[in-house]
Amino acid sequence: MTAPVHVVILYTDAGGGHRASACALKACLEATGRYRVTLLNPYLDLIAHLDLFSRFGSLTGENIYNEVILRKGRTGLGCWLFYAALRLNYVLCERPAIRILARHFEDIQPDIALSVMPLGNKTMLEALKRYRAGAGADRKPKGAVMITDWAELAPGVWFPNRDDYHAICGTEDALRSARKLKRLKGKVHAMGGLLIRPEFTDPALRKTPDLPGFDPARPVVTVLYGAQGSQRMLALAEAMANTDHDAQVVFLCGRNAALRAELAALDLPYPNQILGFTDRIADYLAASDLFIGKPGPGCTSEALALGLSPLLDRSLALPQEAAVLSHVQKTGLGRSFATMDDFQREFSSALKALDPRAHHRPASANSSPTDVLRIIDQIAGERHVNAGATAVKA
């Protein structure tokens, strides 16, 4: 019996999108029975001691991103300065990181090493190159990078200029970036949308959520600002309290327990449900008529796949999320707001625009769960072709 192909997926917990993509890929691959998947956060599991933020301060780089950039909304100059410091951290610690990761690859022996995180992909590929050099002729592990952003923020952030990996892209913007690298010719793969979990495209995998006190005849709104939540949700809750509407609102606060408690303490005049972290996002969004949140590439793709029209907060858009806003606005698939006055106006308009005869409009096609299997099967198959060629040459 053929052993399952071992895929190691490298991710980061800076934000929730990278982990969500890693888990979505794991679910797609393991459902086939052909793959064995290991999730690896190198920052926590292998190279935590190389984090210069924690060495010279009280927070790790991931903590700063989650607690300062995301929760507190420092998405302007402070975000750019953080990115510059993070880049410097990579440069200064690249050599020991490569050595440590290569040794780990030797221990766990992946057939495919696939990254769903930016900035560190040169490090991963160099480590894989070292591991590959010591592997036998019958073990030629492959490298891959799957971009989880709508577009590459700057050259090299996701796709290093080298020829020893495959690039997997879910948008036309990302494809353009990858195809500019001539060394990647023949190794750039397109998916029909950013990768989302299968339950967003397959209704049979979803369940109807329990929404006590909600009236099935009234619209349901879900507010979600990623896995870390955001204090911005408090202002939105109060703005909705001061707006005439008949909506019922679900607040998904993620891992932000303080935010959940503050929302629960508000005396909101409309039916609401306030939840912490949940892995049932698809269930809640599928039961909703409107999605409100930050323009994250993952959550926006999920909403569009379910036929929801997103109302996106452009005031908290991260630099890499500008492409999401541009796409939604150019295509007319959703709306955006910056101030609370903007929000109240757009919120009212979005509710009035809902078709009372249809729960959702037609969903934006997203074939990523199927596409990614085809792509990974192709990459896995190349291991045998290359190994056979090596044997014949010898």
For residue 394, what pLDDT is reported?
36
For residue 391, what pLDDT is reported?
40
CB 164 within 8 A of CB 135: no
Domain identity same for 111 and 204: no
Residue 362 lies in a domain: no
Number of domains composing the chain = 2
C-alpha 234/C-alpha 231 separation (Å) is 6
Coil, helix or strand at residue 6: strand
pTM of this prediction?
0.91
For residue 214, what pLDDT is reported?
97
CB 247 within 8 A of CB 220: yes
Give the other-Cβ count within 10 Å of 133's Cβ. 8
CATH code, domain with 247:
3.40.50.2000
Block residue for tokens 């888990």:
23
Residue ranges of the chain with pLDDT lower than 70?
A: 1, 136-138, 356-364, 384-394
Domain identity same for 186 and 254: no
Minimal CA–CA distance to 160: which of 120, 100, 113, 102? 120
The interaxial angle of helices 322-331 and 297-305, nearest 10 deg, is 30
Domain identity same for 123 and 209: no
For residue 355, what pLDDT is reported?
72
What length does the chain have? 394
Which amino acid makes up residue 161?
Answer: N
Domain identity same for 339 and 316: yes
Domain identity same for 210 and 137: no
Domain identity same for 181 and 58: yes
What is the extent of the structural domain holding 182? 5-196+367-393
Domain identity same for 173 and 238: no
For residue 99, what pLDDT is reported?
97
Domain identity same for 276 and 187: no
Residue 252 lies in a domain: yes
Domain identity same for 302 and 324: yes
Domain identity same for 48 and 179: yes
Residue 78 lies in a domain: yes
How far lies 326's CA from each of 303, 317, 334, in Å?
Answer: 16, 11, 10
C-alpha 222/C-alpha 62 separation (Å) is 26
How far lies 291's CA from each of 240, 294, 335, in Å?
Answer: 14, 10, 10
CATH code, domain with 92:
3.40.50.2300
